[in-house]
């Protein structure tokens, strides 16, 4: 707790619950900042990167905006806007569904796949660097605890 007080530059009595939430939030921001720094040269946000990885997982098959939204890490993202930005960068293609003209389908382009091939090792290295102070067992425990925390 003293370490958190030092980081927050406060002497206030912070409850264990409060400290835990603040710590998780601060850690999330720190991780996001590190990852964003690596994505900046590619002019990609974390959410755009997430969409590209979702589309790559479709193995060339198209997917609609609603299904992309359901798979997003950040459910608050405006998927239409994200896809529009990826369209401008030529990382994705948008087509109208042949069976339902109101349905828009998205597929990743070769440029999108090639960009991910370049980014993947950079992000992998960054993720390893972020977690380097934890052992394999501690990482397993961390993931177990975070999942437990989310399952209210």
Domains of the chain: 45-150 (1.10.10.10)
Q: Using a cut of 0.95, tell me whether the model's pTM lies above it.
A: no
* Beta bridge mates, 96: 104
Residue 86: Cβ-neighbour burial (10 angstroms; 0-12, 13-18, 19+): buried
pLDDT tier for residue 99 given thresholds of 50, 70 and 90: confident
Query: Across residues 9-19, what is the average pLDDT?
Result: 80
Query: Across residues 97-116, what is the average pLDDT?
Result: 88
pLDDT tier for residue 43 given thresholds of 50, 70 and 90: very high
């Amino acid at each position: 707790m003293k370490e958190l007080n030092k980081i927050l530059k406060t002497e206030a009595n912070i409850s264990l619950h409060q400290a835990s939430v603040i710590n998780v939030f601060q850690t999330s921001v720190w991780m996001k900042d590190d990852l964003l720094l690596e994505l900046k040269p590619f002019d990609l946000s974390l959410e755009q990167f997430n969409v590209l990885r979702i589309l790559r997982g479709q193995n060339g098959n198209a997917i609609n905006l609603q299904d992309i939204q359901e798979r997003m890490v950040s459910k608050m993202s405006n998927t239409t806007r994200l896809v529009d930005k990826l369209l401008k960068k030529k990382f994705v293609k948008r087509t109208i569904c042949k069976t339902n003209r109101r349905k828009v389908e998205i597929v990743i382009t070769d440029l999108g796949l090639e960009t991910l091939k370049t980014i993947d090792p950079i992000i992998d290295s960054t993720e390893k660097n972020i977690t380097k102070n934890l052992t394999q067992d501690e990482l397993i425990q961390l993931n177990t605890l975070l999942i437990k925390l989310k399952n209210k």
